[in-house]
Amino acid sequence: VPELDRDAHRLVVDGLVERPLELSLADLRERFERVRVRATLHCAGNRRAQLIEVAPVPGHVPWREAAIGNAEWGGVRLRDVLTAAGILDGAGHVAAEGLDVSYEPGEPTRFGGSVPIGRDAVLADEMNGEPLPPLHGAPLRLVVPGYVGARSVKWLAQLTVQHEPSTNWFQAVSYRMQRTLDEPGYALGETAVNSAIARPENGGRMRAGSVAVEGWATSGGDRVVERVEVSVDGEWHEADLDGAPLAGAWRRWRVVVEVAPGEHELAARAWDSSAATQPEDPRGLWNPNGYANNAWHRVRVVCD
């Protein structure tokens, strides 16, 4: 976690713009309208553990279903800042770079990535009504709802408007969907419909009868979660969804199912506004970095 001085921090905005900007946090607060946006951030490798059961994924964290979180982000609109800089013809993408340095690429490299120029995003200095914590990217981070978490660059120092997507190592080389490690594959970006059971936990024991099953569901881009279903041993039940649909934010869900004594498999699947649902089987989704698993989430429970 880089230790940054709030007062000295500057955001540089350059590239294909009429007026390059160098903005302090005070400039951002004074010159632009404040917004608060609920958005989910999730790791591209969330739910990798289920892929590792299919085949090994060396060198990556075996995330189960909790490499995900949802918060209310306070800050200013990316769009307003780019408009102030004056977007020039030919602009296709906005590349973000943070001040954290990784040695993973072989040489010290700042973390970065890009999103298409029209994408709604927030330059956030607050999280859930409090100043952004250092671990979450203080003093300033990008938050891109509906995209893999890697695009929500922390410790944000640079925005570059450019014709092509970012050539940063963490987009051009890493965070890609590959069939094999020796082909380039394609960059991750928008996320797909996904869901998981948070309770009960896999391997849990409980009393037979009415069991509350709860979890989260998300989609990507401008899509919203429309439906979640939970099966008990293959029989599907519709879950109640929390709150109104909002693109880029998760929906929590809950359903009470009747479970007889014995061992059972619970599974969850979500549907989004594109009428997409999750694939049944993780075997078709395995990839050598274990990204983007959205197979039905399954837990086994024993009821007494």
Minimum Å distance from CB 220 to a second copy? 5
Applying CB under 8 A, the span of 25-33, 90-98, 124-132, 291-299 interacting with a second copy comes to 291-299
Q: Which tokens is 276 given?
A: 């997409």
Closest Cα to residue 82, out of 177, 148, 16? 16
Among 35, 67, 192, 246, binds a second copy (CB under 8 A): 192
Residues in a beta bridge with 74: 36, 126
CB of 101 to a second copy, least distance (A): 27
CA atoms within 13 A on the CB side of 36: 10
Place of tokens 């069939």: 179
182-193 core/surface letters (b: 16 or more CB in 10 A; e: else) = eeebebbbbbbb
Using CB under 8 A as the binding rule, whether residue 226 contacts a second copy is answered as yes
Residue with smaller CB distance to a second copy, 45 or 137? 45
Q: Which residue has the tokens 């007026």?
A: 19
Residue 65 or residue 226: which is nearer to a second copy going by CB?
Answer: 226
Distances (CA, A) of 19 to 42, 63, 99, 127, 158: 34, 43, 23, 30, 15
Closer Cβ to a second copy, 160 or 218, answer by number: 218
Closer residue to a second copy (CB): 154 or 269:
269
Min CB(245)–a second copy separation in Å:
9
Chosen residue from 190, 204, 208, 254 binding a second copy by CB under 8 A: 190
Q: What are phi and psi of 169, to 5 degrees?
A: -50, -35
Q: Contact letters (x/-) for a second copy, 99-128, by CB under 8 A?
A: -----------------x------------
User: Does position 162 bind a second copy by CB under 8 A?
Assistant: no
Q: CA-to-CA distance for 22 and 9, rounded, in angstroms?
A: 10
CB atoms within 10 A of CB 283: 12
Choice between 156 and 188, CB closer to a second copy: 188
**Cβ 207 to a second copy shortest distance, Å:** 29
Binding residue (CB under 8 A) for a second copy from 1, 131, 280, 300: 280
SS3 category, 131: strand
Which residues contact a second copy (rule: CB under 8 A)?
Answer: 116, 177, 179, 186-193, 220-223, 226-227, 238, 269, 271, 273-281, 284-285, 291-292, 294
